Structure 1
Amino acid sequence: MGSIVEGSFERFSLDIRWNATNPSASMVSGKVQVESINTGISLRDNHLRSSSYFHVSQYPEISFTSTKIEKSSSDGSYIIMGQLSIKGVTKDHTFTMRMRPDGRKEFTTSLNRRDFGVGGWSLTMGDEVQVTVTE
């Protein structure tokens, strides 16, 4: 249930220390400046910055730090396990990383926004959020 809304965060940083010969020795971390959210509708963006959703004034960043990296046996992708912090809630979380044909790394995951206290129940907004980050 819920509508599909695409958006992005305009300000973020990635620190990728990739060891191609030993991926388990690699490290991935990132930070997102939540205030930089952009869905194309400023009224919605301001609502998402409010205390009901991201509460930007108290929790200005989303962060992720890897704790373990493994190569997937099925398709050559990598499983990036780590700690994801959103709105003061830190949880174990997993991203999948694929090498793109252009050499850049693409990270994908899905998460339940309510697991992190982002918004409550909504008839028009789904709980599941798809995330893609490209280096």
Structure 2
Amino acid sequence: KNDKEVRGMERKRLLLVEIVEYLSTNSWWNVDIMNELLQVLEYNLFRPLPTNVLQRPQTVKGDEEEEPFQDPRWPHLQLVYELCLRFLISSDIDKTVLIHSNYHITIHIVTYCLLLLLHCHYYLLLFVIYLYCHY
């Protein structure tokens, strides 16, 4: 990775940390903020799987030197999942606005919850495959 990419990734990580802290400590409810937050979640969660998972060669059992695969975007995704969790459990959200607002907002929330579960199972599957290949 070049220096510009590293700086960009660090900037994104710091911005996500700041957003998570803001949602955790402030009364933030606003329809515009909610819509922007949903766009951030959508952009970061609906993404293709890393090609490294599909292109990794099979390892021989007992090969202890190989590191288990970790998605290079995981540091950001971990913060995005935290952001999603803070959004879902927030007491600041006016539930009546969500109920009476556009139907797609409810669909987005359900979709994000399902996607979160899918990603958790995906990483669990990678761990199980790793254990199977190395033991």
The TM-score by the shorter chain falls in which range?
under 0.3
Q: State the structure with more CA Rg.
A: 2
TM-score, with normalisation over the residues of structure 1? 0.21
TM-score, with normalisation over the residues of structure 2? 0.21
Query: Counting strand residues as a fraction of each chain, which structure ranks higher?
Result: 1
